[in-house]
Amino acid sequence: MLVTAAWTLSAPQCGQPDSHNGVEAVMAQSDDVTFPAELRRLRGRLTLRELARRAACSKSIISDLEHERRSPTPPIALALDKALGAGGTLVSLAVAQRQRMSREIA
């Protein structure tokens, strides 16, 4: 199943404050890959500390995302996507995850 969605980002909670405002991310991604799994795959051998530094996030946020203890917000997904050079993949997966959660609640 293919999911397409759009996010308009406001003031970020993570990353450079002036680089994410008003950015609209429009991505499509397959439902078979999850945000946590792709984040772990993209991070590879990069330490939590180094990724946190690059994305201007805390290590605990990244760890919580990887272990599904937290859902990614748009600014966090964008900051991690940029820090890992993921080309919108993490943003797309975060959008898909939020859409799945919305459908489950409804």
- Stretch 76-98: mean pLDDT: 97
Extract the tokens encoding 71.
């859902």
Residue 80 in tokens:
């991690």
Residue percentage of the chain with pLDDT more than 90? 63
The verdict on domain 2-105 having CATH code 1.10.260.40 is yes
User: Model confidence at 53, in pLDDT bands (50, 70, 90)?
Assistant: very high
Residue 4 has pLDDT above 60, yes or no: no
**Is a pLDDT exceeding 60 seen at residue 66?**
yes
Delimit the domains of the chain by residue range.
2-105
Q: Is the pTM of this model over 0.75?
A: no
Percent of the chain residues topping a pLDDT of 70: 71
